[in-house]
């Protein structure tokens, strides 16, 4: 909006109490209250005339009394001062018009006064502004042209842009004001935190504002991700401080600064680059030239933001414009979103500033609409826009005892929130139970236990999604504590409740009612506020329990119980419990839960590991058809899971046969010379790292969850699986099956998008496996680095395949392998041949065989991609290469299909040859020799697999010794590379690192190999308890005697 970053703001000395415009309870100011002295107030404080008597004389005139007497009598003190100032404004403006030089001198004097004072406060205003100016006008103008958008300026702002404002003759439409702005804004807030540096004081102010706003936001939207808009950001000083405070408060997301001055926005964009090293990247920062009164052209739709900051903007606006701004803020805020508002404290200014000083600020165009701001009822304007004022306060309560003693005012307003899925999030405690007796009687609880059962404290924690929920349930009186995840999809699955909780209050009932495996299902009654749980054969055989949870307010949940008999009669109905939300804090993350469980030591035993491996195999074998169907629904190629199960059987058998020897301590020989040795034994003990996180891809969504999981549990770790959100049906099936096969919750599933991964890594976990692309891998590494969490990366890459001069029979085999792999997986396979380097002697023959093989595919030439978006990515690579496509491209391909296609000698600088294809395209390049092929491979990032198809042993040796890749396959296809459990499989360089897939290598990757030395006698160090050999001395008689010997 306006140039809020360029001008020093008003502050004032302590003054008597004026009622807060928001209606806040008045606070009488103590004489000991701190005095706020701001630079604007100082600059315009030279008028101490007795304006009350002047105005009294004017208003007492009989004509004025006749026309306006009653109105004048009804004025409040504040209204009277504004009217006095307005009366004087035309006089002051006329005086300046008569002597324009005095006005220019006034502005210049004010501005230079600010600069001089800044230098005294160690703010290098002139130096910093000069450094910006030194970049040159041509550079700045080019950057301004790039940032400037075509806007229709609001009339109020056009005068501020092309005319004077804030002591600048050309207002917000000049470079001088923009270059001065960073220092100016630091100066005006320094007095609020005098013990801090200028930048720290400014940051502290905004952290206080943001903390207040985020506390309110957390009540209705506890998610860590937040989208923030900074309206009237100026040169970005407030935007940067808000980004920093969001990072410090543990939030992630984005902040966009919007301002009407293209000069200021250009400087903000430059400062973003200069200051990039100050931020950790969890909150992205952007700037946009735009109008805060009309945010739709900037891309801000209704209800799309969690937070909007309006910092020191409204005092530059006419009253009607401020009211319009609040309406626009309310439009873009999501339900429950918050407005963080900071501006001059009207009450303090009105108490401490003379009418002449206020009039001069207006007449000089320092703040041309200041009188309208002083009469703006901010809280009423927010409420009229549909916002609820939640907080009305001020910064630095240690310095300022009351609102009226501070020159700034902080307000937080919230857009009324509809009940949503987020409303469930948090902790709930029993408030009361009504009509609970029928439920107790249905259970046969004796009357003597009714009161205890009715009043027993009961605590719930929820995290609810559209199709599932997590619950943490505690009843301290029964020492009951359950954690479970379930699915709101109408399907039956095992219930974690083995007997009714209420029966635990009766000792006889505890023994009488045996634990029973029951099934339940959940479905929405009214999304997203009410869902129903139906449990069969519960609480007794022949009974059905229906439990309904319903949100009836932001902090109130109604819990209804009904029991139906087989004949349809009601054994209990209308039994109600009410729960109150006690906190919006989400339940512990699954990683924290697993850490608690790991600490018990249950996964260290060989027996637990063997049993866990059996469960994983059973999960796959017993649900092969369901897995295949889910993968088909998600367009996974291939969808059939039978081949994967065969691989898993071999892996489990291998683990079980070898695990006992792997987990045993390994004795190690001593390497010290005999004369330096002390008696003792060395061993290396493999121990589990703790809680692993497996982030799986969409191209093999089940297999690349379960294979790494085998290595994790074999090493004694507990594990969180994060299936790909792209393969939704498969992700949900994995979540259900893990819940079923690991009821003890040693393995858990976290569904969702990138925000889930961020939360889990920040828990933190103890080892991360990520399978996917390099760009996401870099983000995961950056997050993991904050916690020094070890990571394994399985990334793929552009896997080259050298095809040497060979006979027709072998060429046909190579072609069959390459085309078959491309077709079977649609190229969506980390080991797929990405491109071929073909010896020139057989290039034409090889191309002819490729075309024949592809044509023979018939309809199978068209490969369905995982989704239309991925297909579009492949087609974008193909664009421009149609003339070199073999066979020619078919017409009428479906949106999500791409044909198996050879691309003959494409441009080596094209995206096709720089990016991993991960699709059914096959570029082929002509080479003169194996040596040329090797140089080609060496000149590119290291791939996951290099294929060498040749009958020449010299070529084999050359590829083995001269190229670097995760794996080298000589005369073999991808399947052979997956067949030896004694050999680890992993990448190098850009294709990843670590051995995440199977076998001893995976066990070692997921274990910590602890070196242990056990001394038969104490083995001291040369600088400690043992002397160097032959030197004597040392500490103690024993070491002295040893030296003599």
Q: What is the mean pLDDT of residues 35-53?
A: 52
Cross-strand pairs, 520: 493, 535
Q: What local confidence, expressed as pLDDT, does residue 1036 receive?
A: 43
SS3 911: helix
Residue 848 has pLDDT above 80, yes or no: yes
Residue 60 has pLDDT above 50, yes or no: yes
Per residue in 82-94, pLDDT (tens digit) is 777 777 777 767 7
Pairwise CA distance, residues 85 & 733, whole Å: 71
Which range has the worst mean pLDDT, 18-27, 502-511, 759-768, 887-896?
18-27
Show Cβ contacts of residue 735 under 8 Å, excluding neighbours closer than 6 positions. Answer: 468, 485, 487, 723, 749, 751
Per residue in 579-589, pLDDT (tens digit) is 999 888 888 88
Q: Cα dist. 254→39, 208, 247, 340, 351 in Å? A: 33, 19, 11, 16, 39
Yes or no: say if 228 and 282 are a contact pair by the CB < 8 Å rule. no
Q: What is the mean pLDDT of residues 267-276?
A: 93
Residue 160 has pLDDT above 90, yes or no: no
| 638 prior amide bond cis, ω within 30 | yes
Q: How many CB atoms lie within 10 A of CB 788?
A: 7
Per residue in 391-400, pLDDT (tens digit) is 999 999 988 8
Which helix (H) or strand (E) segment is 708 a member of?
Answer: helix 703-714
Which ranges of 623-671 would DSSP assign to H, the alpha helix? 624-633, 642-663
Q: How many CB atoms lie within 10 A of CB 786?
A: 12
Q: What local confidence, expressed as pLDDT, does residue 5 receive?
A: 36
Q: What local confidence, expressed as pLDDT, does residue 23 receive?
A: 38
Q: How many helices (H) and strands (E) does the chain have?
A: 38, 35
Residue 169: pLDDT band by 50, 70, 90 thresholds? Answer: low
Pairwise CA distance, residues 1042 & 1044, whole Å: 5
Q: What local confidence, expressed as pLDDT, does residue 2 receive?
A: 42
Residue 161 has pLDDT above 60, yes or no: yes
- Quote the mean pLDDT of the chain: 86
Q: What local confidence, expressed as pLDDT, does residue 432 receive?
A: 94
Which range has the worst mean pLDDT, 192-196, 567-571, 920-924?
192-196
Residue 512 has pLDDT above 60, yes or no: no
Q: What local confidence, expressed as pLDDT, does residue 987 receive?
A: 87
Which residues are catalytic, by number?
794, 830
Per residue in 479-502, pLDDT (tens digit) is 889 999 999 999 999 999 887 765
CB-side neighbour CA atoms (13 Å) of 973: 13
* Helices 237-248/262-274 angle, 10° precision: 40
Residue 111 has pLDDT above 90, yes or no: no
Q: What local confidence, expressed as pLDDT, does residue 1021 receive?
A: 83
Which one-letter DSSP state was computed for residue 644? H
Q: Which residue has the higher pLDDT, 218 or 545?
A: 545
Give whichever of 49-53, 415-419, 494-498, 814-818 has the largest mean pLDDT.
Answer: 814-818
Residue 1038 has pLDDT above 50, yes or no: no
Per residue in 305-362, pLDDT (tens digit) is 999 999 989 988 899 999 999 999 999 998 889 999 999 888 888 877 777 677 777 7
Residue 12 has pLDDT above 50, yes or no: no
Residue 441 has pLDDT above 80, yes or no: yes
Q: What local confidence, expressed as pLDDT, does residue 167 receive?
A: 64
Q: What is the mean pLDDT of residues 809-824?
A: 94
SS3 321: helix
Per residue in 692-701, pLDDT (tens digit) is 999 999 999 9
Which range has the worst mean pLDDT, 109-113, 402-406, 457-461, 646-650?
109-113
Q: What local confidence, expressed as pLDDT, does residue 504 receive?
A: 54
Q: What local confidence, expressed as pLDDT, does residue 162 receive?
A: 75
- The whole model's pTM is what? 0.64
SS3 88: helix
Residue found by looking up tokens 């800044």 in the block: 118
Q: What local confidence, expressed as pLDDT, does residue 1032 receive?
A: 44
Residue 783: pLDDT band by 50, 70, 90 thresholds? Answer: very high
β-pairing verdict for 459-465 and 408-415 = unpaired
Residue 922: pLDDT band by 50, 70, 90 thresholds? Answer: very high
The backbone torsions φ and ψ at residue 30, rounded to the nearest 5 degrees and listed phi first, read -80, 150
Residue 1043 has pLDDT above 70, yes or no: no
Pairwise CA distance, residues 783 & 759, whole Å: 10
Q: What local confidence, expressed as pLDDT, does residue 363 receive?
A: 65
Show Cβ contacts of residue 372 under 8 Å, excluding neighbours closer than 6 positions. Answer: 317, 318, 319
Residue 411: pLDDT band by 50, 70, 90 thresholds? Answer: very high
Q: List the strands of the sheet with 718-722, edge to edge.
A: 747-749, 718-722, 691-695, 767-771, 791-794, 992-993
Q: How many CB atoms lie within 10 A of CB 1019?
A: 14
């Amino acid at each position: 909006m306006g140039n809020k970053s360029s001008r020093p703001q008003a502050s004032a000395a302590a003054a008597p109490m004026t009622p807060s415009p928001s209606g806040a309870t008045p606070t009488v100011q103590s004489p000991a209250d701190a005095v706020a002295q701001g630079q604007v107030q100082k600059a315009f404080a030279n008028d101490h005339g007795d304006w009350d008597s002047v105005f009294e004389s004017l208003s007492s005139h009989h004509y004025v009394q006749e026309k306006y007497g009653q109105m004048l009598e009804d004025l409040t003190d504040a209204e009277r001062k504004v009217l006095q100032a307005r009366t004087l404004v035309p006089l002051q403006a006329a005086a300046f018009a008569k002597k324009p030089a005095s006005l220019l001198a006034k502005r210049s004097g004010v501005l230079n006064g600010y600069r001089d004072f800044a230098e005294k406060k160690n703010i290098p205003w002139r130096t910093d502004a000069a450094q910006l100016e030194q970049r040159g006008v041509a550079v700045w103008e080019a950057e301004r042209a790039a940032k400037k958008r075509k806007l229709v300026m609001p009339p109020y702002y056009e005068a501020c842009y092309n005319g004077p404002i804030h002591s600048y003759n050309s207002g917000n439409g000049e470079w001088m004001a923009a270059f001065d702005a960073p220092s100016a804004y630091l100066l005006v807030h320094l007095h609020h935190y005098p013990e801090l540096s200028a930048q720290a004081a400014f940051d502290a102010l905004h952290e206080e504002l943001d903390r207040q706003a985020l506390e309110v936001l957390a009540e209705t939207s506890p998610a860590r991700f937040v989208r923030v808009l900074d309206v009237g950001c100026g040169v970005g000083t407030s935007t940067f401080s808000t980004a920093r405070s969001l990072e410090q408060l543990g939030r992630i997301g984005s902040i966009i600064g919007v301002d009407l001055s293209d000069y200021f926005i250009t400087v903000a964009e430059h400062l973003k680059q200069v200051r990039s090293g100050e931020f950790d990247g969890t909150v992205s920062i952007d700037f946009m030239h735009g109008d805060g009164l009309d945010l739709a052209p900037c891309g801000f739709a209704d209800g799309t933001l969690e937070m909007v900051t309006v910092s020191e903007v409204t005092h530059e606006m006419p009253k009607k414009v401020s009211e319009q701004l609040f309406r626009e803020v309310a439009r873009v805020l999501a339900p429950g979103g918050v407005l963080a508002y900071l501006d001059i404290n009207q009450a303090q200014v009105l108490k401490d500033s003379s009418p002449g000083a206020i009039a001069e600020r207006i007449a000089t165009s320092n703040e041309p609409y200041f009188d309208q701001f002083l009469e703006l009822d901010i809280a009423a304007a927010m409420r009229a826009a549909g916002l609820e004022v939640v907080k009305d306060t001020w910064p630095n309560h240690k310095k300022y005892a009351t609102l009226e003693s501070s020159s700034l005012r902080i307000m937080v307003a919230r857009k009324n929130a509809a009940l949503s899925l987020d409303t469930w999030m948090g902790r709930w405690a029993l408030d009361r139970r009504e009509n609970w007796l029928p439920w107790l009687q249905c259970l046969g609880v004796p009357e003597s236990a009714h009161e205890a059962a009715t009043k027993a404290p009961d605590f719930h924690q929820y995290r609810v999604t559209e199709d599932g929920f997590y619950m943490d349930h505690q009843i301290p009186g029964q020492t009951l504590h359950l954690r479970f995840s379930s699915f709101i999809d109408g399907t039956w699955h095992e219930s974690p409740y083995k007997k009714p909780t209420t029966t635990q209050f009766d000792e006889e009932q505890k023994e009488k009612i045996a634990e029973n495996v029951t099934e339940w299902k959940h479905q929405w009654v009214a999304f997203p506020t009410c869902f129903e749980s139906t449990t069969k054969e519960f609480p007794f055989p022949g009974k059905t329990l229906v439990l309904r949870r319903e949100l009836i307010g932001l902090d109130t949940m109604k819990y209804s119980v009904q029991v139906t008999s087989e004949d349809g009669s009601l054994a209990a109905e209308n039994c109600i419990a009410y729960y109150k939300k006690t906190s919006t804090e989400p339940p512990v993350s699954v990683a924290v839960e697993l850490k608690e469980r790991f600490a018990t030591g249950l996964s260290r035993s060989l027996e637990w590991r063997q049993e866990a491996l059996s469960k994983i195999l059973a999960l796959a074998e017993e649900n092969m058809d369901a897995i295949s169907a889910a993968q088909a629904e998600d367009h996974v190629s291939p969808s059939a899971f039978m081949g994967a199960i065969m691989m898993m059987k071999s892996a489990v058998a291998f683990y079980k046969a070898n695990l006992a020897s792997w987990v045993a301590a390994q004795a190690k020989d001593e390497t010290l010379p005999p004369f330096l040795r002390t008696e003792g034994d060395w061993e290396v003990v493999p121990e589990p790292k703790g809680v692993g996180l497996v982030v799986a891809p969409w191209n093999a969504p089940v297999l690349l969850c379960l294979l790494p999981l085998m290595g994790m549990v074999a090493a004694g770790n507990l594990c969180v699986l994060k299936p790909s959100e792209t393969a939704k049906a498969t992700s949900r099936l994995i979540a259900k099956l893990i819940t079923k096969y690991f009821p003890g919750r040693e393995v858990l599933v976290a569904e969702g998008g990138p925000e889930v991964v961020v939360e889990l890594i920040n828990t933190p976990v103890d080892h991360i496996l990520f399978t996917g692309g390099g760009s996401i891998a870099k983000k995961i590494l950056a997050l993991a680095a904050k916690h020094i969490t070890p990571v394994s990366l399985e990334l793929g890459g552009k896997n080259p395949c050298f095809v040497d001069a060979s006979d027709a029979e072998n060429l046909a085999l190579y072609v069959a392998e390459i085309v078959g792999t491309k077709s079977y997986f649609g190229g969506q396979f980390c080991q797929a041949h990405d491109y071929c380097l073909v010896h020139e002697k057989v290039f034409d023959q090889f191309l002819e065989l490729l075309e024949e093989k592809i044509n023979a595919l018939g309809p199978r030439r068209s490969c369905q991609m995982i989704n239309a978006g991925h297909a579009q990515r492949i087609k974008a690579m193909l664009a421009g290469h149609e003339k070199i496509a073999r066979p020619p491209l078919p017409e009428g391909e479906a949106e999500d299909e791409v044909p198996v296609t050879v691309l003959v000698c494409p441009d080596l600088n094209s995206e096709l040859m720089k990016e991993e294809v991960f699709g059914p395209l096959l570029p082929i390049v002509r080479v003169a020799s194996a040596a040329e092929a090797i140089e080609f491979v060496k000149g590119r990032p290291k791939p996951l697999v290099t294929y060498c198809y040749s009958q020449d042993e010299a070529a084999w040796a050359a590829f083995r010794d001269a190229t670097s890749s995760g794996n080298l396959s000589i005369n073999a296809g991808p399947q052979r590379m997956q067949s030896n459990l004694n050999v680890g499989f992993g990448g190098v360089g850009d294709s990843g690192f670590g051995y995440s897939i199977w076998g001893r290598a995976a066990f070692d990757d997921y274990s910590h190999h602890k070196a242990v030395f056990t001394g038969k006698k104490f083995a001291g160090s040369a600088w400690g308890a043992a002397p160097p050999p032959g030197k004597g001395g040392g500490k103690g008689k024993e070491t002295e005697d040893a030296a003599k010997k």
